[in-house]
């Protein structure tokens, strides 16, 4: 457990010591909130769907989390490039503990970033239906962070090219975000698109946050939690297997 804590602390310190990284990571969520939240708000209201800001914020929070957590896999490539990963892997520590520490660190920073976006969204007029369930929403945000941090580590453990990682991640991340229902309701979609959205793991994270924050759900909170938890465990074990076979 000491190895898990040390690697978690290293990831966390790297995050808090880089205010420029924090500010830059908030730029895209804020752009979406302003451009879409206010730009499409009147259209959403005329369609009888209420406030678009209320609908959009859970999706933007999830977007902030997924971008931050998946790109934590790039930090592993950086550590591999400069030798820190090799020093870690040759230590007498189970590789599962190493991966778990890195995933926990990436998930913590991603959840903090999502929480910051949630707080900032209050200035745009967003209000949770029930403030008492906000801690539960934070727990769901942590679960989403763990899922996609583990996914980023799985992908990062199979790659050696730092330049290729952002390209591949954008190829994966953007479809995950745009097809998750973060910006549009899943009800009434064409059947083919609904099938794709149902296969998107981020859809369940967005849906869980909407259920807790604004009381709207497509899949139902129990199914959301079950899918997110199951995929997180599967990716942790898959990442552990790849780490055990990884060469540096």
Decide if pLDDT at 192 tops 70.
yes
Sign of CA dihedral 155, 159, 162, 165: negative
**C-alpha–C-alpha distance, residues 52 and 156, integer Å:** 36
Residue 60 domain boundaries: 2-245
- Radius of gyration of the CA atoms of the chain, in A: 18
For 130-140, how does the pLDDT look when each residue is reduced to its tens digit (9 = 90+)?
999 999 999 99
Highest mean pLDDT among 18-27, 121-130, 154-163: 121-130
Determine the pLDDT at residue 129.
Answer: 92
Q: Please, what sign has the CA dihedral across residues 102, 144, 34, 125?
A: negative
Indicate the pLDDT class of residue 13, thresholds 50, 70 and 90.
Answer: low
Whether pLDDT at 248 is above 60: no
If one counts every other C-beta atom within 10 angstroms of the C-beta of residue 79, the result is 19
pLDDT of 40 higher than 90: no
Q: How many domains does the chain have?
A: 1
Mean pLDDT taken over the chain: 82
Element (H, E) at 51: none
Report CA 144 to chain centroid distance, whole Å. Answer: 5
The larger pLDDT score, comparing residue 194 to residue 10, is at 194
- Residue 85 reports pLDDT greater than 80: no
With 70 as the cut, is the pLDDT of residue 11 above it?
no
Contact 204, 219 (CB under 8 A): yes
Tell me which of 54-63, 158-167, 200-209 is least confident: 158-167
pTM of the model: 0.88
Return d(Cα 51, Cα 54) in angstroms, integer: 5
With beta carbons less than 8 A apart as the criterion, state whether 219 and 207 touch. yes
Spatial separation of the C-alpha atoms in residues 168 and 160, rounded to whole Å: 12
pLDDT exceeds cutoff 90 at 188: no
Burial class (CB in 10 A: 0-12, 13-18, 19+), 17: exposed
Q: In the prediction, which pLDDT does 238 show?
A: 87
Non-local CB neighbours of 31 within 8 Å, separated by 6+ positions: none
Residue 244 has pLDDT above 80, yes or no: no
DSSP letter (8 states) at residue 82: T
What pLDDT, on a 0 to 100 scale, did the predictor assign at position 121? Answer: 92
Burial of 205 (0-12, 13-18, 19+ CB in 10 A): buried
CB 108 within 8 A of CB 12: yes
CA 234, 240, 246, 248 torsion: positive or negative?
positive
């Amino acid at each position: 457990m000491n190895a898990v804590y040390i690697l978690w602390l290293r990831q966390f310190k790297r995050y808090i010591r880089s205010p420029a990284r924090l500010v830059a990571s908030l730029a895209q969520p804020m752009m979406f909130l302003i451009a879409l939240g206010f730009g499409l708000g009147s259209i959403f209201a005329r369609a009888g769907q209420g406030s678009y800001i209320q609908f959009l914020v859970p999706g933007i929070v999830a977007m902030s989390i997924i971008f931050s957590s998946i790109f934590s896999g790039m930090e592993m490539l950086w550590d591999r490039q400069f030798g820190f990963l090799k020093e870690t892997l040759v230590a007498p520590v189970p590789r599962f503990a190493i991966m778990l520490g890195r995933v926990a660190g990436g998930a913590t920073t991603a959840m903090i970033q999502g929480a910051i976006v949630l707080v900032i969204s209050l200035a745009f007029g967003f209000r949770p239906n029930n403030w008492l369930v906000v801690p539960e929403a934070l727990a769901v945000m942590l679960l989403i962070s763990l899922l996609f941090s583990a996914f980023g580590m799985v992908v990062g453990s199979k790659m050696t090219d730092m330049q290729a990682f952002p390209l591949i991640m954008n190829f994966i991340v953007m479809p995950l975000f745009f097809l998750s229902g973060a910006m549009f309701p899943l009800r009434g979609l064409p059947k083919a698109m609904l099938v794709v959205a149902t296969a998107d793991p981020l859809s369940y994270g967005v849906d869980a946050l909407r259920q807790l924050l604004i009381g709207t759900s497509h899949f139902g909170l129990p199914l959301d939690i079950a899918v997110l938890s199951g995929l997180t465990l599967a990716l942790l074990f898959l990442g552990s297997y790849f780490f055990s076979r990884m060469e540096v």
